[in-house]
Copies of this chain bind each other. A is one copy, B any other.
Amino acid sequence: MKKLMNAPADIVVESLRGMAAAHPELRVDLAHRIVYRAGGPVPGKVGLISGGGAGHEPLHGGFVGPGMLDAAIAGEVFTSPVPDQILEATKNVDAGAGVVHIVKNYTGDVMNFEMAAEIAAAETGVEVVSVITDDDVAVQDSLYTAGRRGVGVTVLAEKLAGAAAETGRPLAEVAEVVRKVNAGGRSMGMALTSCTVPAAGKPTFDLPDTEMEIGIGIHGEPGRRRVPLAPAREIAEMLVEPILSDLDFTGGSGNDGVIAFVNGMGATPLLELYLMYGEVAALLEKAGVRVVRSLVGPYITSLDMAGCSVTLLKVDDDLVRLWDAPVQTPGLRWGV
C-alpha cells in the first residue's frame, strides 16, 4: 500500500486537520469529525447536512459553505458516521427552520441518520427531514445496500438543495429539491483498478491488467460484470446506455435538458476525464439528449480507485437557476 499518511487509523482525522488548516472559512470539530461553515448557522435558513464514510473526498466536507452544505459528518473510511456525530451536527446547524439530511442509500448510513433524526426530534424538537439518494442503475442490491446505491446524484443534490436553502426556501421545499433531483438523476460507474482501504492495506478486489469492472460502486462493491479493457468510446457506451434505458432523458413536459456529470474515482487524471466527457457528450447528442450544464472532475471518489462514473440529471428552469446560483466551498465554487 502506497499512501500519503501516517498511521492508517489516523487518516481521517489528520486529513480533516489539514482541511481546517487550509480553509479558515470552515470550522472543523475534530472530536466529532464534523466540518461546519465558520460563521455558524444562518438565522432563518434551513440547515442542510450530509455525511457518510470518508474516502469520497471532496464529498462531503469539501461541499460545506455558502450555497451548499451547512455541515458534513465523516465516518471512518467507507464506514457510516455514528448517530451521536449526526445528532451533534444536526443540533448545531439548526437555526429554527429545520434541518434536511441528505443520505446516500447504504444500510449503515440510512440507519444512523434515521436514529439521529429521531433523537433530534425527541430531545431537542429540531425538525428533520431525511431524503435518501439512490441513483446508481448498476445493481439493485449490493454489498452494503438494500436497493440502489446513492452515488453521483448526491453531489448535484447537495449543490441544488444548498442553493434552495440559501435563497430562503422552507424545509419542505428544500427536501423536495433533493427528492426531485434523486428522481430525475441516474448514474453508472466503472473501475480500471481497485481502491485500497488504509486499514486493510491491500486492494479491495483483484482486477487483472487486461480487465475492468463495469457498474462498480464507490466502495469497490462488485458491479455488473468484468470485461476486457476497451477504448473510451466503448466504455462511454457501457455507462450511458444503462442510464438512458432506465429513464427517459429526451422529453416530457418541463424537461429543459440535462446536467451531464463525468466524475473521477480518485486516481484518474483530468486528461482522461475530459476525454471521457467528450465521448459521453457525443453519445448524448446522438440520443437526442440536450446537455445544458456539465461538471467534469473528481467529486465523489473511491480513495485511489482509477475509473469514472457518469451521472445525468433532468433539469427544468428552476433547477438550472439553482445550479447557476453562487456556491463557495472548497470543492465547488462559482458565481461569488
A-to-B contact residues, CB < 8 Å: 2-7, 11-12, 14-23, 54-55, 57-58, 62, 192-193, 209, 212, 229, 231-233, 235, 266-279, 281-282, 291, 294, 296, 298, 301, 303-304, 306-308, 328, 330, 333-336
Contacts and interface: CB of A to CB of B under 8 A. Distances in A.
Given A21-B278, A274-B18, A276-B18, A267 B6 contact: no
Contact of A17 (B4, B55, B273, B278): B278
B4 A296 contact: no
A282 to B, nearest CB: 8
A193 B281 contact: no
Nearest to A295: B22
Contacts of A229: 2
Given A266-B269, A270-B58, A281 B18 contact: yes
A288 to B, nearest CB: 16
B2 A209 contact: yes
A19 B279 CA distance: 11
Contact of A267 (B231, B232, B304, B330): B304
Q: Report copies per complex.
A: 2
Contacts of A235: 4
Most chain B CB atoms below 10 A, which of A209, A291, A296? A296
A12 B333 CA distance: 27
B5 A274 contact: no
Contact of A269 (B57, B308, B333, B334): B57
Contacts of A294: 21-23
A279 B18 contact: yes
